[in-house]
Amino acid sequence: MSPYRVETYTDLAAAPADAWDRIVRETNASVFYSHDWLEAYEQAGPHQSWPYHLLVYEGAEPVGLLPVYLTQRCPRLTAHRKYLVKTETALREPMLLAHSFYSYYGGPLVKKGHDGLLTDLLAAFQDLARDLDVQVYGFVNVPQGADAFLACLEQHGFLTRYISSSMYLPITWSSFDEYVAALPVNHRFGIRKAMRRMRARGHHLSCEFVTEPDNFDELIALLERILKKHEHVNTNLYPKAYLKAVVSIMGEAAKFALVRGPDHQLLCFGLLLDDGRCLTPWVAGIDYDTLHIFDQYHFLYRWVIGYAIENGYKELDMGRGSYRFKSRYGFKRRILKFAVNTTQAELRPEVDRWSQELAETNLARYARHFADKEVEGR
């Protein structure tokens, strides 16, 4: 008989926040698992979702967790169903997802010594999918390194496909100069050249952290420009109400890095999530009209890297996108998987087709950014 029991929480507020975040800390998990981030997502995220979070107990002690949402009308899910495949899938929403495309990472968190709970947790997740009568259920953005869990998923009939990659930088230097000196010569030369060019132009840019900007509309306008630049069909992925909820609920753990020009004009910004160990830039916006003058995006990267080094962070996680740009600064690639299944056997061919097309599309979009040996990622 299993020593574990799985409890389902349809109200995040009912889940024990201290015990929840203790699991997050002890497993060195991403800030996207934190009770506060999930609360902001549920309160104001651009979706219509219902929580079905799973918390695993051994006796009275929580030892594992899985954030879960019955998800529909999520713009990122819409993109994966409609725009990032050759043929839109008719697989219906809501889908049961663990946990969100707005998070860099997904999958369960398990305290050390309790890997045996994965079987119970997965069984509870599958039972939940059947009880809710969804067509599709699965795990979003499962990171490489979760090999035992991915193997368990495949044994239980899940199709595991490449979905994306995140880019992260382990912080191992004592100064920014030491960091630059450790880069490959061509990247080191490029960074130093950009810094000399900025000095030669006489540009004096500044960057500061604020927990709540004076003008959210100004930030939203820059954010929508970057989404449009990267050809997102929906440029309202991060509504003002959502960003305000993140700031209000997460407090000091959510910081806006604002880059300003010589006349104090806002040139770009980044919203960074901070758990004290890892600094996670999550949302950004750029004034492209001045980019050729000030090169402010490079400035922001250098400033954030320097800040992370000087303040003793262990990792800087830049997430998805701009892979070649990030690799110039020494960021490494972390492959992410989408593990998907269906409650209806007759739908499996379509789930197979959809997930395979999604993987092929995402691989093709970014293959040129990675070395040939890294492109496979399947």
Helix runs in 96-146, H state only: 117-131
Where the chain has pLDDT below 50, the residues are 372-378
Q: What is the pLDDT of residue 147?
A: 87
CA–CA separation, 9 vs 61, rounded Å?
16
Nearest to 47 by CA among 220, 217, 254, 237: 237
CA–CA separation, 55 vs 7, rounded Å?
5
Q: What is the pLDDT of residue 43?
A: 96
Q: What is the pLDDT of residue 374?
A: 44
Q: Looking at this protein, which amino acid is placed at residue 259?
A: V
What pTM value is reported for the model?
0.94
CA–CA separation, 38 vs 47, rounded Å?
13
Nearest to 230 by CA among 89, 106, 79, 81: 79
Q: Which domains does the chain have, with CATH numbers?
A: 4-165+335-375 (3.40.630.30), 172-313 (3.40.630.30)
Q: What is the pLDDT of residue 373?
A: 44
Nearest to 223 by CA among 207, 243, 204: 243
Q: What is the pLDDT of residues 9-38, one digit of tens each?
A: 999 999 999 999 999 999 999 999 999 999
Q: What is the pLDDT of residue 370?
A: 66
SS3 (DSSP) at 90: coil
Q: What is the pLDDT of residues 105-139, one digit of tens each?
A: 999 999 999 999 999 999 999 999 999 999 999 99
DSSP 263: T
DSSP 99: S
Neighbour count for residue 252 (Cβ, 10 Å)? 9
